[in-house]
Each structure stands twice: as C-alpha cells, then as structure tokens.
Amino acid sequence: MKFICLTLLLVSGITDSRSEQYEVVGPADPVLAVAGEDVILPCSVKPNISVVDMRVEWFRLDLEDSVHLYEDHEDRNTDQIQSYRGRTKLYYQELQRGNASLKLSTVRVSDEGRYKCFIQTKSWSDDATVDVRVEAVGSPPVITVDGFDRSGGLHLQCESEGWNPEPDLEWLDSEGVSLSSGTTETHRNTDRFGVKNTVIVYHSGKIHCRVKVKHHMLETLIDTSNNRFISWRTSVIMSSVFLALSVIAGLLIAAFAHKYREQTQLRNEKSRIQDERDQLLRSLKTIITQALTHLRRYREHDQLLQSLKTIITQALTHLRRHRVNVILDADSAHPRLVVSHDGKQVRDGNRELKLVDEETNKFDEYLGVLGKDGFSSGSFYFEVQVKDQTKWDVGVARESVNRTGWMISLSPDDGYWTVGLRYGKYWTRNSPYVSLSLTVKPQRVGVFVVYEKGLIYFYDVESMTHIYSFTGQSFTGKLYPFVCLGIHSNKNSTPLIICD
C-alpha cells in the first residue's frame, strides 16, 4: 500500500512539472522602431497560459541592469536602467492571455540593440531574443546654389542631418531619373548621421534631392527655371559676350600694332584682321540670338505659372461642388474627446474615462472620431481646419475598421487613408510612412474622394497647393470622414473644426 501511494505522488509531481512547461516566443524578424514614436516588443508564451503569477523580466544583452521587471503581481523597477525610466510598460490584461509584450515609449537611437524576454516560474523558465532596429528621420534636405561655371553648368549642393542608420542621398530630374553626381560625404554626430552631395546640371527644370533610409524618405526640390536663376544665367551669358568683345578688341589692337611695326605686310595684315573680325562678329551675333531665345522661354514659363495658379483655383471651386455636410459622431469618439453639440468641432477634454463593455464602437488608443454619415459611391469633398493644432490626422476610414487596441496603424492596410502632423513633421501612412516636405504649414485641409476610381486627394486650401494623393485604391463598403488628435492624449486644447 505504501509503495502504491509513493508511486502516485511521483506521477503527480511529474505531471505538475510538465504542466508548468511552456515556450517563450518572440518575433522571427527584427522589430523596426522610429525615433520619437512608441514601439511594441512582442513576447508571449505557448501554450497561451496566464503569466500573471510568473516573473517577467526584460533586459538588454549588452547591459547588466534590467529594462523592466514584473514580479509578485507588480512592477519592480528600482534597479531599472536610468535611460528607460518612465518609458516601459506591460499590459496587465494581456498577461492573463500569456502576452508579455513590452511597450517602449518615445524611442531613442540609443535604444537599438538585442533584448531578452525572460519568463520564470518556480520550476521552469524560458526566454526569447528580440532584435530592435531604430530608424531616425533627419531634417528635410536643404539645397543651396553655388553658382554657374564657365560652361553654363549650375552647381547645386544638398545637405541633411540627423539620420539613423546612414542614409542614401540621390539627385533626380523632373522625370525621376537619377543624375550623376560626386561622392556623398558622410559624417556622424553622436548617434546620428549627416550627408552632403554636389551635382552639376546643364538644363532648366525641377531638380529633386532625396535622402532615405530603408522605410523613410525626405525629398526637396528646386526649380532652376524661375526668375532668380534666369538672372544668374543671363549674367553668365553677358560675361561670355563681354569676353568675346574683349577678344575682338585685343585682336584689333594687335593688328594695328603690327601695322606700325611691319609696313611691308600692311595689306595682307589688314585682310587677315578683317576676316577675323567678321568671324568674331558673327559668333557674337549667334551668342546674342541664343541669349534672347532663352529670355523668351523664361517669359513663357512665367506665363505658364500664372495659368497654373488659375487652374488650381478653378479646380478647388469644382471640388467644393461635391462638398458634403460632415457631422462628427460622438458615439465613436475616444472617451477623452469632447465633440461640440453641432458635431462640427472636437478637442481633447483631458478626461480620464474608461470604456465599458457596451462601447465597442469607440476608439480606445487613438484620439479618433468618425463622421455620422458614410459614402459608398460617387465623389465627396470636405474641409477640416487644423490651424494652431500640433498633432492631427485627417482623412477617411472604412466602416469596418478596428477601433480598439494598440496594434492598429492609420494606414490603408488597416482601412485608413490620412495625412497628418507629428513632432513638427508632416506624414502620410502609406506602408512605409512617407514624409511630406511642405513649404507652407496647412491651416485648412481639403479631402476629395472619387469612390469608383479609388482616388483620394488632399489639398492645402488656403495656399491652393496639392499635399498628397492615394491612387489605385480598392474600396468596399462605406467610407466615413475621420479626424484624430494623436494617441493617448493631446495637451493642445485647440479643436479640429469641420468647415462649412
């Protein structure tokens, strides 16, 4: 009898030990983070058992101290690395589902490295490694002009700072074809890179300087056909004319000096001088004719710019014929948001409210709100005032979009088509993110949708300029107007306003 009891105890112990065994799983590929934004470091256990009663620790493989420690049902970060203080978070509700993913806020370039997620019970432990790569988007490229050389080539220099990893710099013409340029100079300032490159162009038109890393890109263009470059090029032409005249004068002086030195060769010398003078005068006439032709082309370009401005004005007038009356739906708004009674304005009310189970149609991470009415055919247009607001997104969203959780992004992949402002820079989330180089800060953004053709256009209404376009999209179901004031909170109390 004692032998049977002992056997049962051993079998029970082995069974309990096996029941606690699990596997810690991390991502197979490196996790890409953007400097200044938040990132999730995935980590979970298989099978999906609760890790609430376990020890969960995150740390860097190249550092000794802890990045984040959870033990005995609470965070214990007294020994946390100083640079991570206040920037790490575990989601306690997700721990019950076996999800120990770590949220790292306001990512820095120094956060790049290999992290380990370690999960331990009294009788078992396992870990997974997460490789984090950080991309830092630098300053918009700055193009400076170093003047013309004697052959008429225009020297342009492009420079940009604050990138990680080391970016690529390339020059493109108006057709998007790469231009041959010198070697790019690269220098490193603390943990970020700067680049500089020079190109020589021999034709008028739009020249683009593009700086990019794997998932981000900034671009600046310069139009070498405007009046400023016309005056510079004219100076080069006039310098050539002056040089030609100087050559003529020198030849004439030499001829007359030779006349007095050698009287015997007077007639032959006169004939030679006359021929050379005629030839030089013909060359001078050709140069002046070409210069006048260039000036006429520049005058025609100015007339074209005036016509283009008129066309854009007429286009906006046409778009407003498709204007719809947008009323914001307070039932879809994040609990922090305050929507005006007429549904035309929304702001962050700084209210710490929680969602209840019945409020599944509200946003719970993004400070977003949808319009009450959706559209599934035809064209529609609306305008949103974003003046003085420092964080915003404007666009349209599918009726079926996911509004809860922290894994969604405002991109077409998740059913959102938007442009927005974050950290002083303008972006559109078009997989990957695209940085928008705008010369004027938009005060009022116009959104025009052509449903059947899959087109969405964004305009700066006041400066009458085009911001960005989504083309070749495929829409299903209704599209709803969408505005957003960022993630979690917005300390700027300025409202977004639907313009009548």
Report which of 425, 414, 423 is spatially closest to residue 482, judged by C-alpha positions.
414
User: Do 352 and 418 share a domain, yes or no?
Assistant: yes
Separation between Cα atoms, residue 42 and residue 117, nearest integer Å: 9
- In single-letter form, the type of residue at position 215 comes to H
**More confidently predicted of 246 and 371:** 371
User: Do 71 and 32 share a domain, yes or no?
Assistant: yes
User: Do 25 and 69 share a domain, yes or no?
Assistant: yes
User: Do 247 and 302 share a domain, yes or no?
Assistant: yes
User: Do 188 and 274 share a domain, yes or no?
Assistant: no
Does 454 reside within a domain? yes
CB 195 within 8 A of CB 160: yes
Structural domain containing residue 189: 142-223
What 3-state DSSP class applies to 435? strand
Does 259 reside within a domain? yes
pLDDT digits (tens, 9 = 90+) for 372-402: 999 999 999 999 999 999 999 999 999 989 8
Burial 312-333 (b: 16+ CB within 10 A, else e): eeeeeeebeeeeeebebbbebb
Give pLDDT, residue 161. 92
- Whether omega before 481 lies within 30 degrees of 0, making that bond cis, reads no
Nearest 5 degrees, angle CA 490-CA 493-CA 497?
Answer: 100
Does 10 reside within a domain? no
The model carries a pTM of 0.46
Does 73 reside within a domain? yes
pLDDT digits (tens, 9 = 90+) for 134-157: 999 888 999 888 777 776 788 889
Separation between Cα atoms, residue 486 and residue 493, nearest integer Å: 12
Q: Which residue has the tokens 């286009």?
A: 315
User: Do 354 and 484 share a domain, yes or no?
Assistant: yes
What's the structural domain count of the chain? 4
| Number of C-beta neighbours around residue 37 at 10 A | 16
Does 424 reside within a domain? yes
User: Do 175 and 72 share a domain, yes or no?
Assistant: no
User: Do 384 and 440 share a domain, yes or no?
Assistant: yes
Give pLDDT, residue 284. 60
Q: What's the N-to-C CA distance of the chain in angstroms?
A: 89
User: Do 342 and 490 share a domain, yes or no?
Assistant: yes
**More confidently predicted of 263 and 48:** 48
Does 4 reside within a domain? no
Does 389 reside within a domain? yes
Centroid of chain to Cα 154: 29
Does 7 reside within a domain? no
User: Do 338 and 393 share a domain, yes or no?
Assistant: yes
